[in-house]
């Protein structure tokens, strides 16, 4: 009976080691410190494996890949590696080749990284560099660069250099802020 009361209060049985589905975030949760550490270790290991050139896939033979990030699931059983071809190139072909080689890469990771279970690997193209290029292009447009380079002189739009525009954040004196010479 005590277990039933305990179950009804908490919404799950005390022997259950898993969270209730309503408590899980739909991907909005920040990764734990362990996820970040394991993901970073996997990223370094994948980079070393790819740099050694042990993959014999023709699509990957002349292609240099950069592993930009590895995101790992909370249970550490699935990992998604974000890659980008160095110097551009066909990322779709590289992703297909990496997916074909994922079993080999997983076995190589097992030799390099000491984990109880080596996670299953999936690969995705990293779009962060494309986004950075779009932002850079926007910042270098003439209209935007004119706004960035224009110095803030405090002059009004009236064209009269003697007419000052008061700053709305600064007022004469506020209650209790009088300067008494200290």
Better pLDDT: 33 or 174: 33
- For the segment 34-85, what is each residue's pLDDT rounded down to a tens digit? 999 999 999 999 999 998 888 888 888 778 888 999 999 999 999 999 998 8
Q: What is the helix (H) or strand (E) element at residue 5, kind and residue range?
A: helix 2-10
Res 20: pLDDT: 37
Res 48: pLDDT: 93
> Average pLDDT for residues 149-153, to the nearest whole number?
63
> Average pLDDT for residues 126-142, to the nearest whole number?
82
Domains of the chain in sequence order: 31-134 (3.30.300.20)
As a whole number, the mean pLDDT across the chain is: 75
Handedness of CA 48, 50, 51, 56 (dihedral sign): positive
């Amino acid at each position: 009976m005590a277990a039933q009361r305990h179950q009804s209060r908490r919404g799950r049985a005390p022997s259950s080691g898993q969270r209730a589905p309503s408590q899980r975030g739909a991907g909005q949760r920040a990764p734990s410190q362990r996820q970040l550490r394991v993901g970073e270790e996997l990223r370094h290991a994948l980079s070393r494996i790819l740099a050694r050139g042990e993959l014999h896939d023709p699509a990957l033979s002349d292609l240099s890949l950069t592993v930009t990030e590895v995101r790992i699931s909370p249970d550490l059983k699935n990992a998604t590696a974000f890659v980008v071809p160095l110097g551009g190139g066909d990322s779709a072909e590289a992703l297909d080749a990496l997916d074909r080689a994922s079993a080999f890469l997983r076995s190589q990771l097992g030799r390099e990284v000491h984990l109880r279970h080596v996670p299953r690997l999936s690969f995705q193209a990293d779009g962060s560099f494309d986004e950075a290029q779009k932002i850079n292009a926007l910042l270098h447009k003439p209209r935007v660069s004119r706004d960035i380079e224009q110095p803030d002189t405090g002059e009004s739009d009236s064209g009269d250099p003697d007419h000052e525009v008061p700053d709305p954040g600064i007022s004469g004196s506020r209650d209790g802020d009088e300067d008494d010479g200290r």
